């Protein structure tokens, strides 16, 4: 694999404006109905669901042969808005999109690592989320009211099957690559396991075959805070003006700590006190890290639905790639035909390097083509989002070296 | 230092009954008024507090020369009931003490590591706690109602100064040793720094000169959950029948994860599902680790006061041993005269080994006598409570080799 020191994406401006030559520009999410009463969608839990709308975005142009499609899979709190600036943000009641481009804007665009001059990029919002795809806040046709927690449980497998249905709809039989980080990485893996003949390359970032028990524990505490918030109201809070904002903020702040690392937090905040903090009691934010986390909690509540958090975190808990091998990850990996790149980050403790290494080893033992890189970073799990220069070099080279039909 | 393979405390029964020869037997907490209107206690924040009652327990017998006193310092949720069975548990409304002996029963007793045939052991409940020492749930004489969050902020320094007042009351000028783990270890350090001539030996377990920024972050999220629980009621919940139980349980469950380690949790629970868990949705406890944490949350709410949690966690945030050297830990350590033993645990990530090592190095550089041991353990921070065999060997040898007046 070749590293290019002068790669054009090595120093993208973090927030390039929509008229920048490196930006995908103004974007418009699209919504497609992929299941309805005549063609319902059967979930892994056994229940069927209809209708299902899926919100997605695409960037770049599909080649005449249709061989340049790259599917990006988003993580827990992500959405289909990967890059560029959402032209519909205000009208759609998503004001937070006015302040920031898509969540992987540093990676996706003309001349960036996932170069939209070359690749046709697509990303869809997962089932159960709250960004345009059907989820617990959607209207249940059986009652005329939001599903709330009557929404069926969803799994990573369900997400991937629905993404495959979207690819069918878009006329894509075979993907040049799938790529994702965290639970997005697990979707990438699931693609390679479930549809081995539909993709050439698979990139798994900051992920593992399954969540650790410590990860289960953190997810549980976050859900506990939501479920026991009196404003959760059994999940039927949509008509009440306010939802379980306190519980959701607690869940997010807690999860946010697991996305960072101690050394990274130490570098960023240390034990610095807020200007004006008396150090004399009171329980408000006294240290900079407290103000930072409180802000993270507040801004998450503004943009995310508590029920979606519950459903998606349960899907994250349940995923285990080894199920494809009845518990044996090596047996599972025998299914895979894609070239795979696994990238971990040295300070990630949510999906620590040993989990990525385990996955890479299993692929090796199954005789599959795999590249494994542990990138040095003190940013923690969030590195897959933040370290766009380091990640970009690897991803760009991997995408370009892996031709179609391999 | 000598290790004794056949040490009598190497396999104490975990819960030896009160009539066992290794148990300190039935215990009775004592309460003493250490501050009143005529002799108030000035806190580090500048405010004075009176009255102050302090609950403490003692085991063993003070030698005629008064040179065998060992002061134990408890951690965040601890109390003065270190060993044996509380004869007053039922009458005092502390039913949880009927089920378990004191929190360090495996370490303290006849023939155990801290051998009560030899040492006179004392432990007192810290100021601001809820186990008999004055705290936010106590009646404020100015209003006739519980202090709530009008209680003054407390610090590790305040705790140690009050413990010194207790030693004065008990006629102890000089301690053979102080010993504590976690924030109890910080109290032990503070003793060595503040009263260098009042102790011969100092044992600091699973602790550091200060809490990491990640630790600050976890504490903040726990407090946020309590403070924003609608039943917190601005801290004046004592008359309301119910307090901020949900918030307190969330804080405890979250903190509990930081007391364990991923490998330890993996060994204990793995990703095992609860018997009967459908795996088909619902947000109740599906994995064993979830049931375990929920139990930890429930039983903590039964026995701890939310305001005390806020005050003590703030004291934990604020402590920094380097203040004695104006930010320079080596300068601070020049004050110390006690022989010191620092013990860390390999899988502790709340007060990780590097923090203990930093402390030991600072003592070395200050030319002080220090022993540092990093004990291999997969139990995490809780190892100082749980690994009584390994810890006991070190503590016993250290206590016995360090004569008075060194």
Query: What is the distance in angstroms between the Cα of B238 and the nearest Cα belonging to chain A?
Result: 19
For residue A279, pLDDT over 80 is answered with: no
pLDDT in tens, A63-75: 999 999 999 999 9
What is the pairing mode between strands A145-146 and A139-140?
A: antiparallel
Residue (of B347, B349, B373, B372) closest to B360 by Cα position: B372
Beta carbons of A262 and B214 less than 8 Å apart? yes
Beta carbons of A314 and B281 less than 8 Å apart? yes
Q: Which of B16, B79, B158, B348 is catalytic?
A: B348
3-state secondary structure chain B: CCCCCCCCCCCCCCCCCCCCCCCCCEECCEEEEEEECCECEECCCCCEECCEEEEEEEECCCCCCCCCEEEEECCCCCCCCCCCEECCCCCCCCCHHHHCCCCCCCCEECCCCEECCCCEEEEECCCCCCCCCCCCCCEECCCCEECHHHCCCCCHHHHHHHHHHHHHHHCCCCEEEEEEECHHHHHHHHHHHHCHHHEEEEEEECCCCECCHHHHHHHHHHHHHHHCCHHHHHHCCCCCCCCCHHHHHHHHHHHHHHHCCHHHHHHHCCCCECCCCCCCCCCCCCEHHHHHHHHHHHHHHHHCCHHHHHHHHHHHHHCEHHHHHCCCHHHHHCCCCCEEEEEEECCCCCCCHHHHHHHHHHHHHCCCCEEEEEECCCCHHHHHHHCHHHHHHHHHHHHHHCCCCC
Beta carbons of B262 and A212 less than 8 Å apart? yes
A245 classed as catalytic: no
Residue A350, pLDDT score: 98
Over residues A117-143, mean pLDDT: 98
pLDDT in tens, B97-139: 999 999 999 999 999 999 999 999 999 999 999 999 999 999 9
Out of 3.90.1280.10, 3.40.50.150, 3.40.50.1820, 3.30.565.10, which CATH number does the structure's domain B26-211+320-401 have? Answer: 3.40.50.1820
Contacts of B227 in chain A (CB under 8 A): 283
Contacts of B230 in chain A (CB under 8 A): 230
What is the pairing mode between strands A41-42 and A69-73?
A: unpaired
- Paired tokens of B272: 């095992």
Query: What is the distance in angstroms between the Cα of B243 and the nearest Cα belonging to chain A?
Result: 14
Percentage of chain A surpassing pLDDT 70? 94
Residue A278, pLDDT score: 57
Superfamily of domain A8-211+320-401: Alpha/Beta hydrolase fold, catalytic domain (3.40.50.1820)
Asked if B43 has any chain A CB less than 8 Å from its own CB, the reply is no
Query: Tell me, what's the ipTM?
Result: 0.94
Query: What is the distance in angstroms between the Cα of A368 and the nearest Cα belonging to chain B?
Result: 27
Q: Which of A348, A356, A377, A378 is catalytic?
A: A348
Asked if B170 has any chain A CB less than 8 Å from its own CB, the reply is no
Residue B276, pLDDT score: 74
CB A110 within 8 A of CB A9: no
Q: Which of A23, A77, A124, A182 is catalytic?
A: A182
The alpha carbon of residue B2 and the mean position of all alpha carbons in its chain are separated, in whole angstroms, by 27
- Paired tokens of A192: 């390679």
pLDDT in tens, A356-393: 999 999 999 999 999 999 999 999 999 999 999 999 99
How confident is residue A307, by pLDDT bands cut at 50, 70 and 90?
Answer: very high
Beta carbons of A289 and B216 less than 8 Å apart? yes
Asked if B262 has any chain A CB less than 8 Å from its own CB, the reply is yes
* Interface with A, mutate which of B225, B232, B253, B258 (most A CBs under 10 A): B225
For residue B378, pLDDT over 60 is answered with: yes
Residue B403, pLDDT score: 60
A182 classed as catalytic: yes
Report the distance separating Cα B225 and Cα B244, nearest Å.
9
Length of chain B: 406
For residue B406, pLDDT over 60 is answered with: no
Report the distance separating Cα A351 and Cα A344, nearest Å.
8
A53 classed as catalytic: no
DSSP 8-class letter at A20: S
pLDDT in tens, A100-114: 999 999 999 999 999
pLDDT in tens, B50-74: 999 999 999 999 999 999 999 999 9
pLDDT in tens, A146-160: 999 999 999 999 999
Q: Which CA distances in Å does A95 have to A24, A100, A163, B7, B394?
A: 20, 10, 27, 67, 60
For residue A13, pLDDT over 90 is answered with: no
Asked if A287 has any chain B CB less than 8 Å from its own CB, the reply is yes
Report the distance separating Cα B33 and Cα B159, nearest Å.
15
Contact partners, residue B242, CB within 8 Å, separation at least 6 = B231
Provide the β-strand partners of residue A139: A146
User: Looking at chain A from residue 204 to 233, which residues have their Cβ under 8 Å from any Cβ of chain B?
Assistant: 210-214, 216-218, 220-221, 223-225, 227-230
What pTM did the predictor assign?
0.94
Over residues B17-39, mean pLDDT: 97
Asked if A241 has any chain B CB less than 8 Å from its own CB, the reply is no
For residue A163, pLDDT over 60 is answered with: yes
User: Looking at chain B from residue 304 to 323, which residues have their Cβ under 8 Å from any Cβ of chain A?
Assistant: 310, 314, 317-318, 320
Report the distance separating Cα B219 and Cα B200, nearest Å.
33
């Amino acid at each position: 694999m070749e590293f290019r020191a002068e790669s054009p994406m090595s120093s993208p401006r973090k927030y390039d404006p929509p008229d920048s030559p490196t930006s995908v520009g103004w974007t418009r999410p699209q919504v497609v109905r992929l299941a309805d009463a005549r063609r319902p969608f059967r979930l892994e839990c056994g229940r069927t669901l209809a209708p299902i709308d899926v919100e997605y975005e695409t960037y770049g142009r599909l080649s005449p042969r249709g061989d340049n499609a790259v599917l990006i899979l988003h993580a827990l709190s992500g959405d289909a808005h990967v890059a560029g600036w959402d032209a519909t943000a205000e009208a759609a009641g998503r004001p937070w999109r006015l302040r920031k481009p898509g969540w992987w804007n540093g990676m996706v665009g003309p001349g960036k690592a996932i170069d939209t001059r070359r690749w046709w990029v697509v990303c869809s919002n997962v089932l159960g989320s709250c960004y345009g795809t059907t989820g617990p806040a959607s209207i249940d046709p059986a009652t005329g009211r939001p599903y709330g927690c009557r929404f069926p449980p969803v799994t990573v497998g369900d997400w991937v099957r629905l993404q495959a249905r979207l690819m069918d709809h878009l006329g894509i039989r075979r993907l040049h690559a799938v790529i994702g980080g965290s639970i997005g990485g697990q979707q990438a893996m699931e693609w390679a396991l479930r549809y081995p003949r539909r993709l050439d390359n698979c990139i798994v970032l900051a992920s593992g075959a399954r969540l650790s028990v410590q990860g289960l524990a953190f997810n549980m505490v976050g859900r506990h805070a939501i479920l026991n918030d009196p404003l959760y109201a059994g999940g039927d809070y949509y008509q009440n003006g306010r939802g379980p904002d306190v519980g959701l903020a607690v869940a997010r702040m807690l999860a946010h700590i697991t996305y960072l690392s101690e050394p990274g937090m130490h570098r960023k905040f240390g034990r610095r006190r807020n200007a004006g903090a008396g150090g004399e009691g009171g329980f408000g934010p006294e240290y900079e890290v407290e103000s930072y986390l409180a802000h993270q909690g507040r801004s998450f509540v503004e943009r995310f639905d508590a029920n979606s958090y519950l459903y998606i975190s349960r899907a994250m808990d349940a995923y285990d790639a080894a199920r494809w091998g009845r518990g044996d990850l090596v047996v599972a990996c025998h299914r895979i035909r894609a070239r795979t790149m696994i990238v971990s980050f040295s300070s990630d403790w949510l999906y620590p390097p040993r989990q990525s290494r385990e996955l890479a080893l299993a692929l090796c033992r199954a005789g599959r083509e795999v590249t494994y890189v542990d990138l040095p970073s003190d940013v923690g799990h969030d590195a897959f989002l933040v370290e766009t220069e380091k990640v970009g070099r690897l991803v760009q080279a991997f995408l370009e070296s892996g031709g179609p039909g391999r």
